Amino acid sequence: MNEMITNAAVLREAKKPLSFEELTIDAPRAGEVRIQLKSCGVCHTDYSLAKGILDHQPIPSVLGHEGSGIVIDVGPGVSNVNKGDHVVMAPIAPCGQCGRCMNQEGAYCEREEKRGWGILPDGRTPLTDKDGNGVAIGFNTGFYSDYAVVPSTAVAKIPKDVPFEIASLLGCAVVSGYGAIVNTAQVQVSQSTLVLGLGGVGLSAVMAAKLRGAYPIIGVDTNKERLELGKEVGCDQVMTAEEFNNIKITDFNGGFDVIIEASGAVPVIEKCMSLLRRHGICVYVGAAESTYELKVPHLELVATGKRLCGCLTGEVRPALDLSNLAKLYSAGRLPLDIFISKRRPLDELELAFDDLEKGIGLRTLITWPK
Ligand SMILES: [Zn+2]
Ligand SMILES: [Zn+2]
């Protein structure tokens, strides 16, 4: 195993065009794997970093965190995947050994918490530019690149009949919605579930709620096409944001068991809390920048046991959740094809950001030739 050359889209300055460069990428070290990318989603957070709306990742860096591909090299000590495996990657790499990992809280792994951004768990970046300077791996992934090096615990093997394009969606958008339902809210049969915002995350939450037997499932969005998609993938009822603003807890049989806030409209959380039944749970996955100060009814929280909960990337357990999602897709239980609106090669990443800005479809994917 040697260093390789990888073509990558490098963010050298926010709000400026990306720089397409040949970088050197390390061979994988202990516990790491090297992946040949086949597909990578273009997510809102990548867009926001490129445009300077978010700035929490180091620069220069290679963005892209919804990736799938083929394992081409495995470092010493890796046993969960082999060379040639088709895989999907999560932006979280639980160590598997700390207290939180032991306690099924791997998404909040202590090693990951200390890691910071742009580097592998051992503190280095695997990418070097032609002047010999390190280039960070944005989101600890760096998938807008022909090749990537990641910890093996971030990687899940998928069946070979699952297309790379579908697989790449699983690691961020799909698992963020699915995990909010399955891992965080732990939705039970016949629990009433309200999903706000029917983008990739919200629609994935609807699909997962249906798999868990939630009833009724109600979807809310401002966009008519998305409301139709909501019905297509499992909503028993949909409503516009305006209709949602007018509903009261008494309209819904004592309140909702579960509410997933995936629209990013922060003030709406207050309305969500008012619509929960006693001990109901509102999971906030919207992740929007906002200066709005949330008013939480603290006394009511105690009296009713209502829960307001954050949820990082669906609290993903990569090996379990991502391979389960791939299996369910392969069995025809997850209609994920609706998400893919466009495919572009890596050198059209700027155009893919334009697609996102114009709201064209749900997901543009960067794809590599077969
Ligand atoms: Zn994402
Ligand atoms: Zn850990």
Is the model's pLDDT at 289 over the cut of 80? no
From 198, 186, 169, 167, select the one nearest 286 (Cα to Cα): 198
Please name which ligand lies nearest the alpha carbon of 98.
Answer: 2
Does the 176-313 domain belong in CATH 3.40.50.720?
yes
Query: Tell me, what's the pLDDT at 370?
Result: 76
Which alpha helices (DSSP H) does the chain contain, by range? Answer: 44-50, 99-102, 110-115, 164-169, 175-179, 200-211, 224-233, 241-245, 268-274, 298-304, 323-330, 349-357
Is the model's pLDDT at 297 over the cut of 90? no
Contact in structure between 283 and 311 (CB atoms under 8 Å): yes
Contact in structure between 104 and 79 (CB atoms under 8 Å): no
DSSP secondary structure code for residue 50 in this structure: H
Please name which ligand lies nearest the alpha carbon of 93.
Answer: 2
Scan for tokens 């706000």, then name that residue. 196
CA–centroid distance, 105 to ligand 2, in Å, is 8
Rg (CA), the chain: 20
Please name which ligand lies nearest the alpha carbon of 103.
Answer: 2
CA distances from 240 to 22, 216, 220, 259 (A): 47, 17, 6, 16
Q: Which amino acid is at 265?
A: A
Q: Given CA atoms 91, 95, 98, 104 in this order, what sign does their dihedral have? A: positive
**Do 4-157+335-367 and 176-313 fold alike per CATH?**
no
H/E element, 39:
strand 32-41
Mean pLDDT rounded to a whole number for the chain = 95
CA–centroid distance, 90 to ligand 1, in Å, is 10
CA–centroid distance, 266 to ligand 2, in Å, is 30
Q: Which of 144-153, 174-183, 294-303 shows the lowest mean pLDDT across its residues?
A: 294-303
CA–centroid distance, 232 to ligand 1, in Å, is 23
Please name which ligand lies nearest the alpha carbon of 42.
Answer: 1
From 239, 208, 194, 236, select the one nearest 221 (Cα to Cα): 239
Please name which ligand lies nearest the alpha carbon of 170.
Answer: 1
CA–centroid distance, 121 to ligand 2, in Å, is 11
CA–centroid distance, 92 to ligand 2, in Å, is 10
Near ion ligand 1, which residues have CB within 5 Å? Answer: 43, 172
CA–centroid distance, 63 to ligand 2, in Å, is 24
Classify domain 4-157+335-367 at the CATH superfamily level.
Medium-chain alcohol dehydrogenases, catalytic domain (3.90.180.10)
Residue with the bigger pLDDT between 24 and 361: it is 24
Tell me if the pTM is above 0.85.
yes
CA–centroid distance, 66 to ligand 2, in Å, is 22
Please name which ligand lies nearest the alpha carbon of 312.
Answer: 1
Is the model's pLDDT at 290 over the cut of 90? no
From 295, 243, 299, 300, select the one nearest 277 (Cα to Cα): 300
CA distances from 141 to 64, 147, 172, 314 (A): 7, 11, 12, 17
C-alpha span between 19 and 43 (Å, rounded): 19
CA–centroid distance, 99 to ligand 2, in Å, is 7
Ramachandran angles phi, psi of 170, nearest 5°: -65, -35
From 41, 22, 31, 23, select the one nearest 73 (Cα to Cα): 31
CA–centroid distance, 107 to ligand 2, in Å, is 8
CA–centroid distance, 112 to ligand 2, in Å, is 7
At 368, the pLDDT band (50, 70, 90 cuts) reads: very high
Tell me the domain boundaries of the chain: 4-157+335-367, 176-313
Scan for tokens 């990951």, then name that residue. 112
